[in-house]
Structure 1
Amino acid sequence: MALPWALVALSLLPLLTAQDPTCPYQKAVPITDATLERLSGKWFFIAAVLRNPEYQQMTRLVEAAFIYLIPNLKKDTLLFREYQTIGKQCTYDVSSGGIQRQDGTLSQIVQDREHFAHLWLTKDPETFITLLFPEDEHNRGLAFYARKQVVTREQLNEFQEALKCVGLQDDEILYTDGKKDLCGPLEKQHEEERKTGNLES
């Protein structure tokens, strides 16, 4: 199972123009090399609001999760290494995707389908947000990622402000719990295997 932002099939259709014109999601921000350098590395999945019932149900199963984003700036591709704790078990998955620079989106191929996420860089470089189903009020969502499992009040406030910006509510937020993470040992094992050349990705 892929992380929630990848599970949500996203559209590249223009964002709703009826929303608040000051909302940063109104306009796609092109992705640059600097953007990709900022995104590179390990991120914890902190929280999300997903109105699509199917994806919401899937996300409720995720107790804790983190992801490694590995961009290839020359080829505009992404490698995803994902660790999730679901049902007191650690799951690990490797997948690939693309970078659509002008559209401001990232994509991931999950079960032979390519899914897109509109990227929004927060004021804090230690967090970022992805916008899901921007054109569909009934399925719209946001996913929130941070460099650390525990976020500050200021970081959380920015996520909550983003929710209001696109018409979502605080009481819809699904949070993960880093204390339930069971993937630490596997992550450590993979790191050791990469050092010895026994694990390619």
Structure 2
Amino acid sequence: MALPWALAVLSLLPLLDAQSPACPNFSVPITNASLDQISGKWFYIASASRLPGYKEKASKIHASFFYFTPNHTEETILFREYMTMGDQCLYNCSRLKVQRENGTLSTSENDREYYEHLLLPKDPKTFMLASFPEDKQYMGLSFFAEKPEGTREQKEKFYDYLTGMGMDKSEVIYSDEKK
């Protein structure tokens, strides 16, 4: 009697999965393999944030690329960023701290620690960083890829994660590598 019932329930599981949007899991620990995956050169593609003042600042970014160089023993990542804002080229170099257990990267600014959740979709040529995912008023999501323009499929995954967080495509600000 239990076997037919279990088979019926199991046959409905794909339907449940098809109805739910792909939402990010914010509790995935960071491993050496994930640090190796994000090592190298990355391009900022797009972001959405509800943090006050963020939209104004992000809309001024024409293009940005950066290098991540993880240090497994010191639990840090050397971050070297090159960005164009308006008619200026800017360079930033800093160290990010890695909190492996809770899957976050952090940086200190003005005596305050800022945390970003590292999200690794199935496509190893992309990753995302989520800020304040539990706070609907301040949450944000940034999308990065190995090339200056993300593919349609990569952007769709970004939009899926946005929807899963409760944000909308209309909140997205894109970089423009051509400027």
Pair in the same fold by TM > 0.5: yes
- Which residue does 1:28 correspond to in 2? 27
Question: Is the counterpart of residue 97 in structure 1 residue 130 in structure 2?
Answer: no
Alignment of 1:19-98 (within 5 A): 23-25=23-25, 27-98=26-97
Q: Distance in 2 between matches of 1:112 and 1:83?
A: 24
CA distance in 2 between partners of 1:47 and 1:120 (Å)? 15
Q: CA deviation at 1:21?
A: 9.8
CA radius of gyration, larger in? 2
1:156 aligns with 2:155: yes
The one-letter amino acid paired with 1:136 is D
Any runs of at least 4 consecutive aligned residues in structure 1 with deviations exceeding 6 A, and if so which? none
Q: Deviations over 1:43-74 (max 9, x none)?
A: 10000001112122111111111111111011
Q: Describe the shift of the 1:110–1:70 C-alpha distance in structure 2 as closer, same or farther (beyond 3 A).
A: farther
Q: CA deviation at 1:110?
A: 3.1
Alignment deviations for residues 99-142 of structure 1 (CA, whole Å, 9 cap, x no partner): 00001001123344321100110110000011111121011110
What residue in structure 2 maps to residue 124 of structure 1? 123
Q: Kindly state the Cα deviation for residue 22 of structure 1 after the two structures are TM-superposed.
A: 6.6
| TM-score in terms of structure 1 length | 0.75
Could you tell me which runs of 5 or more consecutive residues in structure 1 were left unpaired when the two chains were aligned: 1-19, 181-201
Q: Which residue of 1 aligns with 2:3?
A: none
Verify the 8 A CA contact 1:97 1:114 in the aligned structure 2: no
For 1:78 and 1:62, locate their aligned partners in 2 and report how far apart those are by CA, in whole Å: 23
Distance 1:81 1:73 in 2: 17
Counting matched residue pairs gives 160
**Contact 1:48-1:175 within 8 A present in 2 as well:** yes
Deviation at 1:151, TM superposition (A): 1.3
CA distance in 1, matches of 2:76, 2:43: 21
Distance in 1 (alpha carbons) for counterparts of 2:173 and 2:53: 14
Query: Separation in 2 of the partners of 1:102 and 1:135?
Result: 18
- 5+ long unaligned stretches in structure 2: 1-19
d(CA) in 1 for partners of 2:47 and 2:94?
A: 21
Structure 1 22/49 Cα, relative in aligned 2: closer, same or farther at 3 Å? Answer: closer
TM-score by length of 2: 0.84
Could you tell me whether the CA contact under 8 Å between 1:95 and 1:109 is conserved in 2? no
Whole-angstrom distance in 2 between the partners of 1:49 and 1:167: 11
Q: Is the 8 A contact 1:95 1:110 kept in 2?
A: no
Distance 1:64 1:53, change over 3 A: same
TM superposition shift of 1:78 = 1.2
Question: Residue 23 of structure 2 contacts residue 163 of structure 2 at CA under 8 Å; is this kept in 1?
Answer: no
% identical equivalent positions = 46
Residue in structure 1 matched with residue 11 of structure 2 by the alignment: none
